[in-house]
Each structure stands twice: as structure tokens, then as C-alpha cells.
Amino acid sequence: MGIDFERLHAIFFEESFEGLDALEAGLLKLDAGDRDPETLNAIFRAAHSIKGGAGTFGFSDVANVTHALETLLDQLRDGERAVTPELITSLLESVDGLRELLSIARDGNQADPAFVSGLRQVFERLLGEEPAAAAEQTAANAPTPETPAPTGGWQIHFQPHEHMFMTGNDPLRILQELQRLGDADITAITGKLPPLSELDPEKAYLGWDIKLQGEICEEAVRDVFAWVEDDCDLSIQPLESAAETETADATPAETAPAEQARAAAPATAPAAKKAKTSSDSSIRVSVDKVDSLINLVGELVITQAMLKQMSTGLDPTDHEQMMAGLETLERNTRELQEAVMSVRMLPMQFVFSRFPRVVRDAAGKLSKKVNLVTEGEGTELDKGVIEKITDPLTHIVRNAVDHGIESPAERKAAGKSETGTLTLKAAHQGGHIVIEVSDDGGGLKRDKIIASARKNGLEIDDNISDDEAYQLIFAPGLSTAAEVTDLSGRGVGMDVVRKNIHELGGQVHVTSEPGKGTKVCIRLPLTLAILDGMSVKVGGEIFIVPLNYIIESLQPVAENIKTITGSQRVIRVRGEYLPLMSLHDIYSTAAANDENSLVVLLESDGRKLAVEVDELLGQQQVVIKNLESNYRRVHGVAGATILGDGRVALIVDVPALTEVAPKAA
Amino acid sequence: MDMDDPTNLPQAAATHAIDDAQNTGDEQEFLTFTLGDEEYGVDILKVQEIRGYDTVTALPDAPEFIKGVINLRGTIVPILDLRLKFHLSKAEYNDFTVMIILNVADRVVGIVVDGVSDVIDLPEESIRPAPEIGGSVDSQHITGIGTVDNRMLILLDIEKLITSADMGLVSATSH
């Protein structure tokens, strides 16, 4: 029998993608100034195992690229190369490239050779330039004193003209070539370097004085400069007669920002947390297995409920032992269910970990300065919810960077620090998880939102409250962005965000304070698989109303029920008039005795609604079953569940019902 | 309808028969059931199980022929009554009423019929193209007409029938 390669491949890809995530996280830590050797080691290990796996399985493209990546990381680790924001950006890009390569390989396709070679070139370029960059930085940071020149070698003065970069030549590459020839002592000439504000990154400002030692013929040295001879000031003299050449000037564009970043880095370094190296043992199990386990436990819960129901008719004294057994069964079942559900729970870390990158990219593109703060990464949430919340959350975060946080200049003018702060917070609150995305930007502009909403054909009362106005950002097609950017402003998005969150059974609310910032608050159920419900009887059928929407239940008094325009009924509850609907009408069940009906008050999304039911049967935890897997979505029905007697009961979709209801005045 | 249709149909039916009848040579196995006085047949490979009619939970906002949903060992399965769908004169629910649980298009769906009669092997040559008919069953859902001992057997393309838009089982928004 052959080895099951399919499965091994699947594991390889899964691990590789995780490895890339770890790599990315590590790189971002480096970027934030973390100089812990363990961080670098973790990055290195991730790259190494991807390379190993790719080699074993014959994904040579991936192996080659990771090999180059590894070489680069090795140099970083050995201190031969300095960490610069540019390097990190290139590395992050190459991580994206690798991810792409891996998905191509996973889908069994052949990668475009141009893509692969492009990716390799990134590394080759980096590998080519880097030691030089390190050397140059040393020079820039602490100008090396002239060392006594031994005999045999060349004194080279190399001053690229400003347009050097336009010709496609890279001085760093040349310097690296020189180092290959012999022992090169390189000193940067920074005299031409303008103040940062006037620096044009596309111009070459730096020059270099190079002492090249060793038995090298002039030809070889000249060859290195063959392509740039016309684009630079160049003098090559034997070492002894090295003449002092006039100072020249430029820095390759990278150096200046690089230095700046290096200066900033140590300041942030202490803040960066140490990588947690947990050695918890774990096994990798497919989600399908866990899901089938959850389903089975769900069945068990139903069977247990059935047994309990059957036992109610028995005489407790005659069947004392069996009753006790049933009791134990109930407890064990519940604990088992909780334990199995927790297998699917993942910490919010899984979502939050991608945001440093998202924020970095978005802020970089918009030239804004944003500091990301995350809290409550340990808060656990069902894997299914986590997967579905990631995209909406990414959208909100991008929006916050794009529209929320102002440009450094605006912030300065408003008396705030140039760097904006974006806070991601997760916390448990009852049976829910609350995720907050807040920024300290300019806040929402009420007038703009209302104007934009009107343009979209929404009828808006002038007197709506600020809070109501802010919620309009979730209306379809609404965008207040002055201009459409890559990131946002097309007006598609926030409505989709709200829709996705509603589909998860969650709610989203935005609050804002002009000049101080905006906060988006998302409330989600912890899991999609079970819910606490109230079972109600309506016309012979049983329905489950999710408990978290119920405010209260009451016995209505006839005089409190009135009608508006003859048809719409309202009920007066403590001075408040709420729309009253009958579940009979909504679900077109057989009408039952209206006389003794009860009223349940529901609230969702700030809207209140009263519904009439025949009878309240009790509170119970139900396993949510999907109606759509074999049928289709039914308006007003959130799903179905199986009752203790094996029958199916529908779960009331409260947000859908309240949406039809007018907003409670 | 085009003139080509009748000529295409037997061809389609023939290919279908060959595809599915791997072990039986030119024969295909059908589960036959009755709806009123008519006898129908569905590809046995689509049938998951047969159950007695049980209480269903009604669904709001559903056409009359969709009776509701049942719990089939933890799976929520929609049940539709073919007798109502085909507008038969009466649809009674008694001890003999049966549900055929089908596995079509990755879905589990139950159909209510008057009774299940038999499993029969039908040689390819005894399957005739369906005549052009109007009415509640579009002829495109009929793969052919089989003859067994002078009984007429209407062979349904159950997959097409169940997934057709007017069944309302598959909504455009669900995927």
C-alpha cells in the first residue's frame, strides 16, 4: 500500500499556511522593534519547516523561494543584516507571494514561472544589497575612522548622480559586488543628503568611499561599474596614492527613513511582548470530526430530554433509583456538551493577529500613523463565528484607519498626537462576546451622513437623534468619504458588515463623539450551535424564541391593546406603545383561543415588538439545526431544533420580525 | 416546443440509463410507487430510505405541497407531498401513506406518496420517450415511460423535479 499522499499534502499545506502566519506575525514584531532573538528564531524555524516540507513533497518553487528567504533570515540572525522597514516590507510581500505559491500548489496547478522568478528576484535583490546596506548604516550611524591602508588594493570614490535610480541601477548591488571581490571598507558620504522634508526618495543622494583590499586587477573593479560609468562620478586609484576626493552627497533613498525607524525602534521595543513559547501538547483534528462529535452530543441531549420527559409520568417513590440515574445522566450530558463545545472555541487572538498587518498596510498606503492596541485576545469564541467575523472586522478596521483616523497634519492641528490609536477589544458579556473597534479620530460627521443618506433616497427627519444618524452608516450605498480610495469609500461595505453580523445572530452599533473618535461595537453569540430559548406554543405548534431577545412576558389587559389606522395593533406597556403582532399571523398557524393569550416583549437592535403567543412552555437550551442545508431560508425563521419528543420546532428570527416593526417611538 | 425534442429525449434517457446501470448491463433499477391510480418510478440509487408518514412541523411561507419538516435522526428534512404537487384529486394520510426519503443534489428530501409497490429492473429497450404533455408535471421531468406487464410506469427525473425552481426548495438566496 502506498502512503496516502493526499492527506500528507493536506497536512503540509495546513502547516505551511500556519507557518506563514507565524512568519508574518514575527516579522511584524521585528518591525515594531522587537529584537528578542527568540522572535527571529521563531521566524527562522517557520521558514525552515516550510522549506523542508516543500522539498520533501517536491514543491520545488516553494522550496527555492523559502531557501532564499532562509538565507536572508540567517543573515539577519547573525547580525550581518540590519532590520529596516523596507526589508520588512519586502519580506512581508514575499510572504504573500509564498502564500500564493502554496495555494497554487495546493490546487494542483503549476505556478506561472514569471511569478516564481519575480519572487526569487525579490530575494536576490535583497540578498545582493543587504550586507551593503548594513555596512552603509554602520557608516552613517558611526562614521568609521580611516583605517591604515595596507598595500594591494584600490581606493574608490563612487558618487552616483541623482538620477541613478531612474536608470534601473542600484548602487547597493554594486557595493555588494565589490565586497565579493575583496575586503571592502565602505564609508558613506552623506554630505548631499537634504533635510528629511526635502528628501526625494527617487533620487540618489549618497556617495561612497571604498577601500578595496586584496589582489584585484583594475579591470575587475571597472567591470563592476560598467553599467553606471556614465551615471556617476567615479575614481579608482591604487590604495597608496589614494587622493582625497571631494565630498559628495547622496543617500540612497532608503537610508534616511531606515535610520529614523531604527532610532524609533528601541523606544518601542520594551513595550513589545515576549513571544509566548508554549509547549502545550496538542493534536491536529479535522473540523469535520469535531462537528460530528458536536452533532452526536446534540443527539444525546435530545435523547436525554426525551427520557426525562418520559419519566415524568412515573411514580418517584417506586423508581427512585432510576430517577437518580436520570438526574446524573442529565448532569453528565450537560457537562459533556459544554466540554465538546469548548473544543471548537478559539481565542480571539486568531482574528486579532492579522490586524497588525492590515493596519500597517492601510496606514502605510495613506501615510497615516496608527498605533494598534489589542485587548482581550484570550477571549474564546466558536471557530465558526471567528471565521465569519474576520472579514467584517477587517472591513471595520480598514474603515477606521481610512476615515476615522486623520492625517498626521490634521491631528496636529487638532492638538492630538500625530499617531492615532486604534483599539481592538474583546470581552465576554453574559452569553455574548463583545468586540469593540475604537479609534481616536475625528468622529462621524452627522451632517455628511444625513446628506449622503438623503442622496441615496432615504427619508430622514431633521430631528433624528445623533445616535440614529450614526447608525445610518450601515445603510446600503452610503459613503461619506470625500474620495474613493483603494481601501474604502465606495459605499459598499458597512451594510454588508451589518448583514454578516446579523446572520451570525449578532448586533452592531456605532457610537461617535465629534473630534474624539468613533467606536463600533459588535455583539455576538458565543456559539452558533446552541442557544437558550423560551419554548412557546402557538396554534398547536411549538416555537423557540431566543431568550436573549426577550425583555419580559406579560398577561395583557384588553384596554391596553389599541389599534392604529384600524389594523395595526399596539399595546401600551408602562406608558410606551409597542407594535403588537400575533405569532399566529406571522407563521400562519391555526388560530387558537385569543382570550388567554400572553404577550412576549422582544427587543432587537433598539426596536421593540410585542408578540402574542398561546402559552409559555418553559426555558430550555436547544441545539440549532440548519434549515437551509436541505431546504431554503425562510423569512422569520432563524433555524430549527429538535424537541425532547423528537419533533421539530422552528426558532423565531427576532431581528427579522422587529425589522418589519416600526421603530418604537 | 421544438421538433427535435422528441428525438432528443430517448437519447437522453438512454445515456442516463447506461450511466447509472453499471452492474445490470442495459438494465436500470427503479423504485415504483403509486400516486392515485398512476404508477411512477424513480432511480433506486437516489432513494435513501422509506418511512411511514409521521407528524411534520409546518413551515410558514411555504407552498401547499410542502408539508413541513421532520427530524430524521438529527437532520431536518423537508417533506413534500407529490400528490398535492401533481394535483391529484385526494391526498389522504393513513397508515399506508409512506414517505420516500431521497438523496438528490446533496440534499435530503422526503416525498409523500400513496404507497410503494416494487423495485423493478427495466431493460433499456422497454423505456419509451414521454409524449408531449402539459399539466402539472413538465415533460422535462419525465425521462421516459416504461412498460411492465402492461402497466405503464412514469419514470421521473426526480433530481430535476426536486431542484426545479417552482418547487421552492432551493432558493436563490440560500447559496
Give the count of domains, chain A. Answer: 5
Residue A32 shares a structural domain with residue A57 = yes
Give A543's contacts in chain B (Cβ within 8 Å).
Answer: none
Pick from A85, A105, A139: which residue ends a domain? A139
| pLDDT of B100 above 90 | yes
Residue A269 shares a structural domain with residue A316 = no
Residue A306 shares a structural domain with residue A385 = no
Residue A376 shares a structural domain with residue A428 = yes
- Give Cα A580 distance to the centre of its chain: 42
User: What's the pLDDT at A269?
Assistant: 39
Contact: B73, A299; criterion CB under 8 Å: yes
Instruction: Go through A484-510 and write b for each residue having 16 or more CB atoms within 10 A of its CB, e for each that does not.
Output: eeebbbebebbeebbebbbebbbbbbb
Helix pair angle (A85-106, A60-77), 10° resolution: 160
**β-bridge mates for residue A508, sequence order:** A522
Provide the domain limits for residue A307. Answer: 287-343
Residue A395 shares a structural domain with residue A463 = yes
As to burial, measured by CB atoms within 10 angstroms (0-12 exposed, 13-18 middle, 19+ buried), residue B172 is exposed
- Residues of chain B that touch chain A, judged by Cβ-Cβ distance less than 8 Å: 55-62, 68-71, 73-78, 107-109, 168-171, 173-174
Q: For testing the chain B interface, which of A294, A542, A611, A648 should be mutated: the one with the most B CBs within 10 Å?
A: A648
User: Could you write out the DSSP letters of every residue in A111-150?
Assistant: PPHHHHHHHHHHHHHHHHHHHHHHHHHHHHHSPPPPPPPP
Q: Is residue A279 part of a domain?
A: no
Q: For testing the chain A interface, which of B54, B64, B69 should be mutated: the one with the most A CBs within 10 Å?
A: B69
Residue A380 shares a structural domain with residue A488 = yes
User: What's the pLDDT at B20?
Assistant: 45
Give A649's contacts in chain B (Cβ within 8 Å).
Answer: 57
By percentage, how much of chain A surpasses pLDDT 70?
83
Note whether A402 and A365 are within 8 A (CB): no
Note whether A261 and A32 are within 8 A (CB): no
| pLDDT of A414 above 60 | yes
Pick from A139, A170, A187: which residue ends a domain? A139
Residue A456 shares a structural domain with residue A427 = yes
Helix pair angle (A494-503, A383-399), 10° resolution: 160
Reported as half-sphere exposure (CB side, CA atoms, 13 A), residue A161 has a value of 10
Q: Which residue has the higher pLDDT, A234 or A249?
A: A234
Residue A595 sits in a domain whose CATH number is: 2.40.50.180
What ipTM is given for this predicted complex?
0.73
**Which has the minimum average pLDDT: A511-515, A639-643, B125-129, B136-140?**
B136-140
Residues A467-487 pLDDT 10s? 878 887 887 766 555 444 444
Residue A479 shares a structural domain with residue A443 = yes
Q: For testing the chain B interface, which of A302, A632, A645 should be mutated: the one with the most B CBs within 10 Å?
A: A632
Residues A123-143 pLDDT 10s? 777 776 544 444 444 444 444
Q: Is residue A84 part of a domain?
A: yes
What are the DSSP E strand ranges found in chain B?
27-35, 38-43, 47-52, 66-72, 75-81, 98-104, 107-113, 115-123, 127-128, 142-148, 151-156
| pLDDT of A334 above 80 | yes
Task: Please name which of B119, B95, B110 lies closest in space to residue B33, comparing C-alpha atoms.
Answer: B119
User: What's the pLDDT at A3?
Assistant: 58
Which triple of cell numbers denotes residue A458? 432615504
| pLDDT of B101 above 90 | yes
Contact: A630, B62; criterion CB under 8 Å: no
Note whether A482 and A363 are within 8 A (CB): no
Q: Is residue A329 part of a domain?
A: yes
- Long-range CB pairs of B17-21 (<8 Å, 24+ gap) are B17/B124, B17/B127, B18/B124, B20/B45, B21/B124
Residues A40-81 pLDDT 10s? 888 878 888 888 788 777 787 788 888 888 888 878 777 777
Residue A542 shares a structural domain with residue A645 = yes
Which triple of cell numbers denotes residue A438? 475604537
Give A636's contacts in chain B (Cβ within 8 Å).
Answer: 60-61
User: What's the pLDDT at A81?
Assistant: 76
Q: Which residue has the higher pLDDT, B162 or A131?
A: B162
Q: Give the dihedral of Cα atoms A442, A448, A453, A459; nearest 10 deg.
A: 120
Compare CB distances from A648 to B60, B76, B107 and report the shortest one's residue: B76
Which distant-in-sequence residues (6+ apart) come within 8 Å of A137 by Cβ? A82, A255, A258, A259, A262
User: SS in 3 state form for A256-275?
Assistant: HHHHHHHHHHHHHHHHCCCC
Pick from A343, A372, A390: which residue ends a domain? A343
Instruction: Go through B10-19 and write b for each residue having 16 or more CB atoms within 10 A of its CB, e for each that does not.
Output: beebbebbee
Note whether A351 and A393 are within 8 A (CB): yes
Residue A384 shares a structural domain with residue A414 = yes
Which triple of cell numbers denotes residue A62? 516553494
Residue A366 shares a structural domain with residue A469 = yes
